[in-house]
Structure 1
Amino acid sequence: MTELESAIEVVSNFLTFSMVPDPEKAATFMSEDVKITFTGRREMANTQAITSFNKDRYLWVKKSIKQYDAVQKDDHCVVYSIGFLYGQWPNGQEFHGNRYTDRFEVRNGKITKMDVLNDSAEWILAPQINRVSEY
């Protein structure tokens, strides 16, 4: 397995356990000094903080992962997970087709940086807009 393939596997395993959610198991794929930044520049200390944040924003949320893109940098790999979120808002309304891109830096088999970007804030601000579910 190449270093890029290994980095993608680390990210894939992390996302699998994040969606259960099993923050303890997900944390095993992150370095102790991981830097996590969510939309709105919200910094998260750990996977438990991610789970807590998502509990406030969604009744539940999952990812429909469409692809991984990866590139080798000098001392690490950068992995992008791209796809769509689906789930339920706190009011019980279901949603799907909410675009997301997660960017990860993987060093020595551990995620050292995670940046989360998605359309949730826009969807919350303007729920009346009819959106195309996926493209």
Structure 2
Amino acid sequence: MSPGAATALVDRYLQLCEDRKLDEAGALLAPGARLVFPGDRVYTTLTEMAAGSAARHRWVRKERERYFEGVADGGAATVTSLGTLYGEDPAGRPFSGVRYADVFVLRDGLIVEQHVYNDLAVAGIGAAPAAEDPGTPA
């Protein structure tokens, strides 16, 4: 892919996912693409991904701040997207400023892998409340 083309494709994909235009976003995925999310949740379709995320937040969007392009072994294009997340947790409480990094691998102009890393669980969003530590004074 030409310089910048991989980033443009990834940015379009992320926007389509946020807008829940999953059929259009899915057209940018290669057959057999793997979408890997925190907690080692692996999806092969965007419908699975959306259903799997429903209990973690009502909605989420990305403030995409920076992109980095590279080339992986075998000539695959790579794109890393960095920024923050904002949205509503399952109870409808707003959140913002939660860090994320998405790493994409592209071949033949399509996304073959997406690896998602974020601090939603660290921020207590969509995660079960931590058990009280009996050794911690009140």
Task: Tell me if TM exceeds 0.5.
Answer: yes
Question: What's the CA shift string for 1:30-75, capped at 9, x where partnerless?
Answer: 1011011100111112111121122221111100000111112332
TM-score, normalization by structure 1: 0.87
Partner of 2:80: 80
- Equivalent residues, number: 126
Question: Matched residue of 2:106: which SS?
Answer: strand
**Which consecutive residues of structure 1, in runs of 5 or more, have no partner in the other structure?**
128-135
Question: Highest CA radius of gyration, 1 or 2?
Answer: 2
* Alpha-carbon distance in 1 for matches of 2:17, 2:60: 10
* Alpha-carbon distance in 2 for matches of 1:17, 1:85: 16
Identical amino acids, percent of aligned pairs: 26
TM-aligned CA deviation for residue 94 of structure 1: 0.5
Q: Deviation above 6 Å: which 4+ runs of structure 1?
A: none
Q: How does 1:1-135 map to 2 (within 5 A)?
A: 3-73=2-72, 74-124=74-124
TM-score, normalization by structure 2: 0.85
**Which consecutive residues of structure 2, in runs of 5 or more, have no partner in the other structure?**
131-138
CA RMSD of aligned residues (A): 1.6
**More helix as a share of residues:** 1
